């Protein structure tokens, strides 16, 4: 298949308004329809040089009105949503195909390999090449309307504190998880992230197998304000969703126990896709590179 070079999207200032909390269920039906139409367009054309003006014109709205409506309904600006889709697709191609990085860059809407590699490495904490290490796929958490994946909890426990961005903290967070009504027990993972659409691992996480609605406690949490993302993979053979997710802003104090509550639900079209790995960037690949460089560095010295 021929892959054509794609120019980057829009101007930075167009898409950089701060995100707002999602509230699609509270907006009028015509607004919901317009937002879903714009999301469908992003998902179908993410590899093209889409602009904010084009998205707004497709739903017959001004850029200002469209941006505010989109953020009200999804919690993100159109540009951040587009970036999330592009990075999700880039990660998918890195993990599931043998395409070289330059072809992947073109196929997800960037024209410069250098720019893509720099932005990917800064956001993800790994280079695109490092992201192809087997451990990355083994410890991948993926959330999208069409694809969901949660690694086995025993695999996560074995990973321990090797998470790519796990930090050391003194706080304790007690999360009350409300799973969807009528759903089966689930293997549940809660991660705390600095960004509502994270591209790298959490600052802290905890999990529980076969969990129903109840409490999950996470230790060693750094003090601060984080986005808690709860993911549950439900056992088969019962009603309710097979996979559910919940988001909640939480504040953790440096000492003592903080509390928060999050309700889980089935993934929605307005959820930006997320793919994060709990694998450390200190992968076997990185270690082999350092080992190969050391003799050369000693010789130069």
Same domain (yes/no): 64, 3? yes
What pLDDT shows up at residue 289? 39
Percent of the chain residues topping a pLDDT of 70: 79
More confident residue, 293 or 281: 281
What pLDDT shows up at residue 236? 85
* Residue 177 domain-assigned (yes or no): yes
287 pLDDT more than 50: no
Same domain (yes/no): 119, 103? yes
The runs of H, that is alpha helices, within 27-180 are: 29-45, 52-58, 63-74, 78-96, 101-107, 113-124, 134-138, 153-159
299 pLDDT more than 80: no
* Residue 52 domain-assigned (yes or no): yes
Mark which of 88, 115, 132 sits at the end of a domain: 132
Local confidence band at 280 (pLDDT 50, 70, 90 cut-offs): confident
Element (H, E) at 275: strand 274-277
Same domain (yes/no): 234, 257? yes
Domain count, the chain: 2
* Residue 289 domain-assigned (yes or no): no
Same domain (yes/no): 105, 33? yes
Same domain (yes/no): 159, 266? yes
d(CA 245, CA 179): 9
Same domain (yes/no): 115, 161? no
What pLDDT shows up at residue 291? 44
d(CA 101, CA 208): 37
User: Residue 153 contacts by C-beta under 8 Å, 6 or more apart in sequence?
Assistant: 187, 189, 207, 208, 209
Helix, strand or coil, per DSSP, at residue 50: coil
What pLDDT shows up at residue 158? 64
Which residues share a beta bridge with 173? 218, 258
Task: Give the sheet arrangement for strand 224-234, strand by strand.
Answer: 204-211, 186-193, 224-234, 243-252
The encoded tokens of residue 238 equal 């019962």
More confident residue, 265 or 5: 265
* Residue 292 domain-assigned (yes or no): no
Question: What is the chain's mean pLDDT, rounded?
Answer: 82
Local confidence band at 151 (pLDDT 50, 70, 90 cut-offs): confident
Q: What is the DSSP string of 197-254?
A: S-SS--SEEEEEEEE-SEEEEEEEEPSEEEEEEEEEEEPSSSSS-SEEEEEEEEEE-S
* Residue 215 domain-assigned (yes or no): yes
More confident residue, 131 or 26: 131
More confident residue, 240 or 28: 240
More confident residue, 130 or 8: 130
CATH number for 234? 2.60.40.1120
24 pLDDT more than 70: no
Same domain (yes/no): 197, 250? yes
* Residue 299 domain-assigned (yes or no): no
Burial class of residue 7 in the structure, from the number of CB atoms within 10 Å of its CB (0-12 exposed, 13-18 middle, 19+ buried) = exposed
The encoded tokens of residue 44 equal 């179908």
Q: What pTM did the predictor assign? A: 0.80
What pLDDT shows up at residue 20? 39
Same domain (yes/no): 75, 150? no
What are 35-84's pLDDT values in tens digits? 999 999 999 999 999 999 999 999 999 999 999 999 989 999 999 999 99
What pLDDT shows up at residue 212? 93
Same domain (yes/no): 41, 150? no
Same domain (yes/no): 256, 152? yes
The answer to whether 163 touches 156, Cβ cutoff 8 Å, is no
More confident residue, 253 or 285: 253
229 pLDDT more than 80: yes
d(CA 275, CA 88): 6
124 pLDDT more than 80: yes
Same domain (yes/no): 183, 80? no
Q: Which of 24, 130, 125, 3 lies closest to 81, judged by CA?
A: 24
d(CA 255, CA 296): 47
Percent of the chain residues topping a pLDDT of 90: 61
What pLDDT shows up at residue 43? 94
Q: What is the DSSP string of 161-192?
A: T--TT-----EEEEEEEEPPTTPPPEEEEEEE
Same domain (yes/no): 151, 214? yes
The answer to whether 35 touches 270, Cβ cutoff 8 Å, is yes
285 pLDDT more than 60: no
* Residue 60 domain-assigned (yes or no): yes
276 pLDDT more than 90: yes
* Residue 296 domain-assigned (yes or no): no
* Number of C-beta neighbours around residue 136 at 10 A: 25
CATH number for 7? 1.10.10.60
Which residues share a beta bridge with 192? 204, 228
The range of the structural domain enclosing residue 28 comes to: 1-132
């Amino acid at each position: 298949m021929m892959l054509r070079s794609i120019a980057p999207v829009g101007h930075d200032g167009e898409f950089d308004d701060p995100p707002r909390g999602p509230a699609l269920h509270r907006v009028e039906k015509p607004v919901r329809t317009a937002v879903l139409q714009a999301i469908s367009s992003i998902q179908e054309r993410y590899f093209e040089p889409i602009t904010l003006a084009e998205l707004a014109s497709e739903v017959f709205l001004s850029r200002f009105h469209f941006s505010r409506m989109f953020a009200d309904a999804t919690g993100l600006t159109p540009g951040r949503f587009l970036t999330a889709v592009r990075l999700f697709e880039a990660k998918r191609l890195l993990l599931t195909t043998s395409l070289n990085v330059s072809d992947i860059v073109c196929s997800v809407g960037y024209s410069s390999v250098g720019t893509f590699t720099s932005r990917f490495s800064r956001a993800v904490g790994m280079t695109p090449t490092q992201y192809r290490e087997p451990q990355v796929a083994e410890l991948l958490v993926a959330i999208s309307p069409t694809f969901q994946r949660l690694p086995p909890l025993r695999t996560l426990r074995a990973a321990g504190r090797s998470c790519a961005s796990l930090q050391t903290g003194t706080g304790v967070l007690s999360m009350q998880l409300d799973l969807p009504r009528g759903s089966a027990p689930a293997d549940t993972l809660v991660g705390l992230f600095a960004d509502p659409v994270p591209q790298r691992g959490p600052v802290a996480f905890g999990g529980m197998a076969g969990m129903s609605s109840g409490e999950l406690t996470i230790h060693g949490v750094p003090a601060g304000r984080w986005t808690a993302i709860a993911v549950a993979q439900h056992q088969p053979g019962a009603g309710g969703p097979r996979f559910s997710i919940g988001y909640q802003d939480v504040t953790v104090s440096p000492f003592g126990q903080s509390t928060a509550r999050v309700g889980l639900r089935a993934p929605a079209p307005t959820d930006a896709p997320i793919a994060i790995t709990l694998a450390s960037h200190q992968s076997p690949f990185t270690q082999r590179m350092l080992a190969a460089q050391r003799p050369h560095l000693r010789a130069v010295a």
